Amino acid sequence: LSLMISITAILFWSGYKASNDLTLINILANTDTAFSLFYGGLITIIISILVSIKHLRISYTYEILKRGFLSMLPAIIILILAWSIGPVIRDDMQTGIYLANIGKDVMSSDFIMLIPAILFVISAFIAFTTGTSWGTFAIMIPIGTGIVSVSGGDITLGISAILAGAVFGDHSSPISDTTILSATGAGCSTQSHFITQLPYVSSVAAISLISFIVAGIYGVLFGYIIGICATILLFYFYKKYLSKPINL
């Protein structure tokens, strides 16, 4: 509770200080997330010490803090390395823009019905290689909406494909902070988390791709129907063939 309240309060305070405006949108647009997370966590540690100080010795508190920091150290190192290579791939090499422009050349008027599916694949690949969904949104939404508008397609469907592909790529990427912190929270290595989640997220991505293809050709309603039916079949397959206990 202390963590949530302190981070939220500092987020709004930093946004108001930067924008000097009481409008909610302007406050949220100018928040300093890193500052808020750090000091919110620091405040929470102090409150935790004050609450527990009458139950624990100071030496015990020090040992608990030490073990907590050391348990997070591998995740911090991996995050630093991931954040170091991410900007190189995203900003210096301009990988996302390069891939988006290649896709723009491919998506001509001959492929109007497949544009949502193509946008989904490109967004997923960009997010997977760069480790960021928000960066993929920034790259692909202007390009995707422009292509869909010129071709006369469904803009809502195109944006949906971009958002879905970017989120899939981000959550399945080994250099994404989502993957790294999820692995740390689960108490396993990043490699193990990446390998074990990949079949499941890839299965859902395959269903989404088929649904976007159907939606582009026959309409959104048919895309939903195919997606729901495919998901039910996937659950049945997992339950029947992959849920059996393993004899060690």
Angle between helical axes of 33-52 and 2-19 (0-180°, round to 10): 150
Looking from the CA of 111 toward its CB, the CA atoms found within 13 Å total: 14
Closest C-alpha to 211, from 198, 230, 193: 230
CB distance 36 to 3 below 8 Å: no
Per-residue pLDDT, averaged over 154-162, amounts to: 88
Q: List the structure tokens of 128.
A: 């997977």
* Predicted pLDDT of residue 103: 61
Which two tokens mark 181?
């912190």
Question: Residue 68 above 60 pLDDT?
Answer: yes
Closest CA to 119 of 95, 93, 137: 137
- Count CB neighbours of 56 within 10 A: 14
Predicted confidence at residue 248, as pLDDT, reads 45
Give the tens place of pLDDT for each residue, 18-59: 888 888 888 888 888 888 989 999 999 999 888 888 888 877
Q: What is the pTM of this model?
A: 0.68
- Which stretch of DSSP H or E encloses residue 87? helix 58-87
Rounded Cα distance between 107 and 97, Å, is 15
Residue 176 falls in which region: left (phi positive, over 0), alpha (psi -120 to 50) or beta: beta
User: 219: alpha, beta or left, given left = phi > 0 and alpha = psi -120 to 50?
Assistant: left
Does residue 8 surpass a pLDDT of 90? yes
Measured between alpha carbons, how far is 175 from 79 in angstroms, rounded to an integer? Answer: 8
Q: Which pair of tokens denotes residue 52?
A: 């527990």
Nearest CA-CA partner of 126 in 136, 137, 112, 141: 136
Statement: residue 4 has pLDDT above 90: yes
Which has more pLDDT, 170 or 130? 170
pLDDT digits (tens, 9 = 90+) for 231-244: 999 888 878 776 66
d(CA 182, CA 174): 11
pLDDT at position 110: 58
Structure tokens at 87: 């900007």
